[in-house]
Chains A and B, each alone.
Chain A
Amino acid sequence: MPNDIMKRFEAACDFAVPVCPDEVNKHLVNYLARIGVNRKVKQFQSPWWREDAIWKMVVEVLGKVNSLAARDALDARDARAALDARDALDARAARDARDARDARDARDARDARAALDARAARAARAALDARAARAARDARDARDARAAFAARDALAARDARDARDARDALDARDARDANLIILKTFGNFCCFRAGYYWWDLPWIASVWFGAIENKTTEALKWSESILASFCAGAWGLMWTDTVLFWLPHPKIHTENTGGSSRRLHCTNGPAYANEVENLYFLHGVMVPAYAVTNPDWITLGEIEAENNAEIKRALIEQFGWVKYLAESGAVRINERFNDRDMQNEELYEMKTGNRRFVVCDPSTGRKYSLGVPREVTSCEAAQNWLSHGLDRLAVTRT
């Protein structure tokens, strides 16, 4: 097997290759010719509902789904125009929010729209699939993207369900909004429907290596074009009746978790973003968009209602531990004024049994909440544990 091809494939799997649209188009045209399928080849342009072929595909899939919510979504007289209008409205609201707040707010309209959709659907209350999130955490780029989709599917399903459930209680205008969220989410889902073998180029391109190994001439022909398109920057395929759309590789943000392992993580935008949608992860946990872009939208109620421990923790960290302790009914089990450090110290027990040591930094005046073991029963013991026992020997703190 040629070494340079494997190296290019590896670089493409790390999404470390430039996107060359002309090259991708050329290779995908060859691919279609080799498998004897007649389609135009086109790079996908967001949003999906402005592409006639994708709109038609989504409508067809909707027709096959025995879903009241899906049918209701199409009831909008001109759903596509409504989606455009809602996008414009959301983008304007997001701009207003950004102007009024600070850099933590949405960085672009898509971020903002995702946040607004998630908020509208109360996606935060929709617990995510922990297995999918765990899988995403350990994956590398292409695998990260794949796993992110698994988590996304779970979220999308719950978003839609939540929106549908909420719709009955809403007035007509809000109900129309809820329908559009369902339609948009469902359309996103349709863009990547079916198995990875259907759209995931890194997965399909790996067939070429097997074909070389097994000397499978027929597979070698078509998979060579797929591999070449992947190495030219394509990442996903979107099949419709008339057009084969392709997407460039997504943008991934991760954090290292020791050694070669890493997980999806971004504190100021999507950890995973492709041309169809943005997905948001904090330390490997998929969260609603607004938990990242507009954390001040998080409410104590939805934190309390969250059953998934990972998501709950992520939401609390975004909400702020100190604020959460104050509002959640955590029990203060010890407090003191530390004369040496000239600071107030408090030890809390959470409802989960976890203990948090809250201290006001003597230099900055900021309040910090630090986790300590459950065996710690006093502020003095907390300080000693945090410092490996050295606090009792410390002469000063700045």
Chain B
Amino acid sequence: MATKVLDRAIVSAHKEAIVNDSPKTHEDWEIGMAAHQGDLTFVCISRPASATPRKNLQLAEGATQGSRHVLESGNAYDCDPNEVSMAIKAATKCDVSLQYLGIVFSGAGATVTHPEHGDHAFVPDRCTAVVYQRSMDAEEREMRTQD
């Protein structure tokens, strides 16, 4: 795999008590690659033409713990969701419904922080789309997962 991940996860002797909140630096972040941070997935895509800068750098609000995924540095963009969906499809062959799409970010030192999950830092010249995880509720309806 082209990406070198500086993984400093601490694996406890007990597999059920794993702690893995160390930061990850994606030194080789190529189009089509992905990484998970809690209920978010980051996907490297080509930069959408519709990208317009946005001020709010919070990527997702925590539902229960007040946890937050925040873009600490770099530039965040609002984009045409259809264009982002097509960019993800082109990069990964995966279909992501529009309601699961978050913002797009890029820029020097772009780092997504979270108080519990390890931070993710990305190389400057790549564009990354945020995708929300899904799950089924007890009535078997698809919904966005929130941590």
In Å, the complex CA distance between A313 and B11 comes to: 34
| Also in contact, A344 and B95, with CB within 8 A (given A387-B41, A397-B36, A398-B20) | no
Return chain A residues, CB-CB under 8 Å to B32: 393
| Also in contact, A387 and B18, with CB within 8 A (given A363-B116, A395-B3, A397-B35) | no
Return chain B residues, CB-CB under 8 Å to A329: none
Place the interface of chain A in its size category: 35 or more
Stretch touching chain B among A144-152, A168-176, A369-377: A369-377
Q: Total contacts A to B, CB within 8 angstroms?
A: 129
In Å, the complex CA distance between A280 and B139 comes to: 20
Return chain A residues, CB-CB under 8 Å to B61: none
| Also in contact, A362 and B9, with CB within 8 A (given A386-B135, A394-B36, A398-B118) | yes
Residue of A309, A342, A370 touching B11 (CB-CB under 8 A): A342
Contact B140 A386 (CB under 8 A): no
Q: List residues 339-360 of chain A with CB under 8 A from any CB of chain B.
A: 341-344, 354, 360
Return chain B residues, CB-CB under 8 Å to A394: 33-36, 41
B49 in contact (CB, < 8 A)? no
In Å, the complex CA distance between A316 and B92 comes to: 37
Total interface residues in chain B, CB < 8 Å: 50
Question: In whole Å, how far is B116's beta carbon from the nearest beta carbon of chain A?
Answer: 5
Question: In whole Å, how far is A317's beta carbon from the nearest beta carbon of chain B?
Answer: 7
Residue of B5, B38, B138, B139 touching A396 (CB-CB under 8 A): B5
In Å, the complex CA distance between A394 and B32 comes to: 9
Interface mask (B68-97 → A, CB under 8 Å = 1, otherwise 0) = 000000000000000000000000111111
Interface mask (B93-124 → A, CB under 8 Å = 1, otherwise 0) = 11111001000000000000010111110000
A-B pairs with beta carbons under 8 Å apart, 15 shown: A341-B20, A343-B15, A360-B16, A361-B147, A363-B21, A364-B116, A365-B16, A365-B17, A370-B145, A371-B137, A387-B133, A388-B41, A395-B1, A395-B3, A398-B20
